[in-house]
Amino acid sequence: MQLEVIGVGAAGCRIADAIHAGDPAERSVVGTAFAFDVDGEDVTALQSIPVARRFRYGETIENGLNGNLQRGFTVGEEHVDELSRHLDDGQPSIADAFVVAVGLGGATGGGTVPALVENLQRLYDKPVYVLATLPATSELEPSSDDRSGSGSDAETRPMAEENAVRTLERLEGSADAVIAFDNEEWLRSSETVLEARDRLNRELADRVLAFFTATASGTDEPSGAETIIDANDVARILGDETGIATIGYGKQQVETDDGGSRFGLGLFSAETSVDTTTAISAIETTIQKGLRGKLTLECDRGDADRALLVVGGPPAWLNRQAIADGRSTLESATGSAEILSGDAPRPDSDQVFAVVLLAGVEPAGRLAALRSRTKPLDRRRAGE
């Protein structure tokens, strides 16, 4: 697949930057990456996205939006045409999908992304997937030990949960799917979001890239895969009804015997000395890690409406029966008949990996909790 990756707001730009930085040259899926923010310093601080693809908008805004999501919606609607024109400098016409990264809870990204997604849907006949992080509870009030000394929105965002829910409501019916990442679940003990954000962004980027790079590249070069997963398969599983999706990922180091070649020269047949039992065990282990390990958003696996499994690694390790059994495992865990599976040979790799995408996973416990705490606020505003 080829993706147009767009980061909006400080958190979204950092996520897009991490994806761009981790995009493997030999299997690149990022056609062009963009960063949009109202804060020029945050845009300048990015490391990977080319400077020519970083843009500040809303130049009259000073000191950010201070969590005012309603103002963020207004700013987004005022500037959406400007942002869309910048995207014309990329490769939107040949992209298989757009991935829009945003930190839910913030006013800039949360306010602009709904308008941008709606405009992308109007302009292009391509899926638009939102990559969204949920705020951690520690962001809601000042820390008793603010080691940063900054008092920044990265540490204190009292409206973050309400903003997250309101942004998701605005995205309903426009985004094809929302791939969620729960900052709260991924924080370590006594770790703040500010301290952890670079690590969390890399964790999310690793899983997103593992998933999309395991799909067909769209080139004429033979992949050697027995069952190829392509953009249509991804669209079928993620759907087009703004469902919530989550990603699981497992990997295991393996020994390779490739005749001394580790450079992907297409000598698939050189790897012939893998014991079948060992290969099956490696595949089973990685699938269990992907399915039962930590997801980007925790959920009951049985709540998933659809699922997709891709197993990759050195060709000789990709035992077809083990992959088929893994698909059956996924069917049993989800109770869904809408399961797709495929393989992704990596002749230059010494790891077996499995990526599990679960789609339509609501009600996810964390999202349900956010919504239950936000609804009373909405009712009070309405005078109920």
Q: Could you give the CA distance from residue 191 to residue 186 in angstroms, rounded to a whole number?
A: 10
- C-beta of residue 317 within 8 angstroms of C-beta of residue 283: yes
Q: Is the dihedral of CA 259, 213, 185, 284 positive or negative?
A: negative
SS3 382: coil
CATH 3.40.50.1440 is the classification of domain 3-213: yes
pLDDT of residue 157: 80
pLDDT at residue number 138? 81
Count of beta carbons in the 10 Å neighbourhood of residue 380: 9
CATH class of 246-359: alpha beta
Return binding residues.
107-109, 139, 183, 201
Q: What's the CA gap between 123 and 16, in Å, rounded?
A: 22
Which residues, in sequence order, are CB contacts of 192 under 8 Å at separation 6+? 138, 143, 147, 148, 155
Which sequence spans correspond to the domains of the chain?
3-213, 246-359
Of all residues in the chain, the percent with pLDDT exceeding 70 is 88
Confidence of residue 59 (pLDDT cuts 50, 70, 90): confident
pLDDT tens profile 195-218: 999 999 999 999 999 999 999 765
Positions at the binding site for GTP: 107-109, 139, 183, 201
Strands 30-37 and 54-56: parallel
- Judge contact between 98 and 128, C-beta under 8 A: yes
Q: What is the DSSP letter of 270?
A: G
pLDDT tens, 284-326?
999 999 999 999 999 999 999 999 999 999 999 999 999 999 9
**Cα–Cα distance measured from residue 204 to residue 166, given in angstroms and rounded to the nearest whole number:** 23
Q: Which amino acid is at 329?
A: T
Of 318, 188, 307, residue with least CA distance to 252:
318
Q: What is this structure's pTM?
A: 0.90
Q: Return the closest-CA partner of residue 301 out of 291, 310, 309.
A: 291
Instruction: Give 257's pLDDT tier (boundaries 50, 70, 90).
Output: low
Confidence of residue 74 (pLDDT cuts 50, 70, 90): very high
Query: What integer is the mean pLDDT of 148-170?
Result: 74
CA–CA dist 157, 122 (Å, integer): 33
pLDDT at 268: 43
* Nearest-angstrom CA–CA distance, 10 and 349: 34
Q: Output phi, psi for 333, to 5 deg.
A: -70, -35
Residue 55 burial (CB count, 10 A): 17
Report the greatest alpha carbon distance in the chain: 74
The residue with tokens 């033979």 is 222
